[in-house]
């Protein structure tokens, strides 16, 4: 299938200390059959050569813009990446575009990646958010990084939003769970969200690699708290997690991360209607009724 109309898109990429990987992403964008109208790279205080590499790319490609943020001295968990994202978003907020993508700077993807993404969006007018299937290097093997994710989830490394959907969900929250809240809000408002399983991206530094396994599990549990997950749903989620590696430890990390939100009285997403809707969907899931979590994967394999 070929696109029936001209598509414009912008990309925003927060990045920190990716000097060994960012060239993969630069090359992938430079080879796209449909180039972005603008790609804004936000160097979030990198301590390596990431900023210089991005600047060199911007001198070569006029559609790349680089913003440099000062080094705060540490990686800010949760909303830090989205704070950097919004520094870049301000440059494209009022431009004319059909889609906006939030992409990581350690990805490699085919030259027709975005063209094929837009083919799926064109075929499904209610698709508000999508992205390709992310593969990661683990123990010397290339494996699907999203195994076990619900069908509505699109990995935070590659999020492509239809403009109307983006505006309706109000953008991204600056907290843990931002990459789930966006999907839940979109589905609540009647949009669809799913991964394009026929479109492959290689993630050269797996999600959460800087946090370690335990830190990643704690963050995931805390993100579920921020999102407003029902405690009973989390109990069953942790029980189900017992069958996956790391056994027991994975469930414990998720639960401790979730409970820590209550112990610290941390704020949840400031959207009570969304929390009520999410918990209703989760209780429906536990009662074996139709729910967002019961949806099957949408096997979209765009034609080459």
Task: Walk along the chain (304 residues) and give the pLDDT tens digit of each residue.
Answer: 678 779 999 999 999 999 999 999 999 999 999 999 999 999 999 999 999 999 999 999 999 999 999 987 666 666 789 999 999 999 999 999 999 999 999 999 999 999 999 999 999 999 999 999 999 988 778 888 767 789 999 999 999 999 999 999 999 999 999 999 999 999 999 999 999 999 999 999 866 565 688 999 999 999 999 999 999 999 999 999 999 888 899 999 999 999 999 999 999 999 999 999 999 999 999 999 999 999 987 655 555 4
C-alpha–C-alpha distance, residues 152 and 132, integer Å: 13
Residue 138's pLDDT is 80
- Give the residue extent of every domain in the chain: 9-203, 212-294
C-alpha–C-alpha distance, residues 25 and 31, integer Å: 10
The CB-based long-range contact list for 143-146 (8 Å cut-off, 24+ gap) reads 145/203, 145/206, 145/207, 146/195
3-state secondary structure of 211: coil
Residue 207's pLDDT is 64
3-state secondary structure of 138: strand
Q: What stretch of H or E contains 83?
A: helix 80-92
Domain 9-203 belongs to what topology? Answer: Spore Coat Polysaccharide Biosynthesis Protein SpsA; Chain A (3.90.550)
Residue 1's pLDDT is 66
Of 280, 219, 260, residue with least CA distance to 75: 219
φ, ψ dihedrals at 211, nearest 5°: -95, -20
**Cα distances (Å, whole numbers) of residue 217 to 97, 105, 176:** 36, 23, 12
Residue 246's pLDDT is 86
C-alpha–C-alpha distance, residues 159 and 7, integer Å: 17
240 class by beta-carbon count within 10 Å (0-12 exposed, 13-18 middle, 19+ buried): exposed
Strand 9-15 relative to strand 64-69: parallel, antiparallel, unpaired? unpaired
Residue 208's pLDDT is 58
Q: What stretch of H or E contains 284?
A: helix 272-286
Residue 237 is encoded by which pair of tokens?
């989620």
260 class by beta-carbon count within 10 Å (0-12 exposed, 13-18 middle, 19+ buried): middle
Strand 107-109 relative to strand 99-103: parallel, antiparallel, unpaired? unpaired
């Amino acid at each position: 299938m070929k696109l029936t109309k001209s598509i414009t898109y912008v990309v925003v990429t927060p990045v920190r200390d990716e000097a060994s990987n960012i060239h993969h992403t630069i090359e992938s964008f430079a080879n796209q059959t449909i180039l972005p109208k603008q790609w804004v790279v936000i160097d979030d205080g990198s301590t390596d050569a990431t900023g210089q590499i991005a600047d060199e790319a911007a001198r070569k490609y006029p559609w790349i813009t680089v913003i440099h943020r000062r080094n705060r001295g540490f990686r800010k968990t949760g909303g830090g990446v989205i704070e950097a994202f919004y520094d870049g978003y301000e440059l494209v907020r009022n431009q004319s575009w059909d889609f906006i993508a939030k992409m990581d700077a350690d990805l490699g993807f085919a030259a027709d990646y975005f063209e094929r993404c837009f083919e799926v969006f064109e075929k499904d007018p209610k698709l508000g958010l999508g992205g390709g299937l992310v593969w990661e290097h683990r123990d010397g093997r290339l494996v699907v990084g999203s195994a076990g994710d619900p069908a509505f989830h699109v990995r935070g490394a590659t999020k492509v939003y239809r403009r109307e959907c983006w505006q309706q969900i109000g953008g991204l929250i600056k907290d843990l769970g931002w990459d789930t809240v966006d999907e839940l809000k979109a589905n609540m408002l009647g949009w669809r969200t799913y991964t394009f399983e026929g479109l492959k991206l290689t993630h050269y530094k797996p999600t959460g690699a800087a946090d370690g396994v335990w830190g990643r599990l704690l963050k995931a549990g805390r993100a579920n708290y921020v999102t407003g997950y029902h405690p009973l749903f989390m109990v069953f989620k942790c029980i189900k997690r017992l069958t996956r590696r790391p056994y027991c430890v994975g469930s414990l990390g998720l639960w401790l991360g979730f409970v820590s939100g209550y112990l610290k009285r941390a704020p949840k997403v400031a959207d009570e209607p969304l929390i009520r809707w999410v918990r209703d969907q989760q209780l429906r899931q536990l009662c074996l009724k139709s729910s967002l979590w019961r949806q099957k994967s949408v096997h979209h394999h765009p034609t080459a």
